[in-house]
Amino acid sequence: MERRFLTLADVADVLNISAAQAYALVRSGDLRALKVGGRGQWRVAESDFEDYIARMYAETQEAIRQESP
């Protein structure tokens, strides 16, 4: 069965960032996530994570274009 959701630890691992940085992406609204369970565990849909990565690539490319003479 294919996994549909990632934990913030998974997100942090894939992006090679800290768990606190992954949480900050969610809290700022940059990365869409949902809270599940009584303890409020965060989960990120794989499709939302892929959308985030694609958006960051596009923003990076645009920033590079603007820096070029």
CATH value at residue 55: 1.10.10
> pLDDT category, 1, cuts 50, 70, 90?
low
Residues 6+ apart with CB under 8 A from 57: none
Domain around 57 = 5-67
Nearest residue to 49 via CA among 19, 9, 5, 13: 5
Which pTM value belongs to this model? 0.86
Could you read off the pLDDT of 16-66 as tens digits, one per residue? 999 999 999 999 999 999 999 989 899 999 999 999 999 999 999 999 999
Q: How many domains does the chain have?
A: 1
Given this model, what pLDDT does residue 2 score? 72
Compute the Cα dihedral for 33, 40, 11, 3 and give only its sign: negative
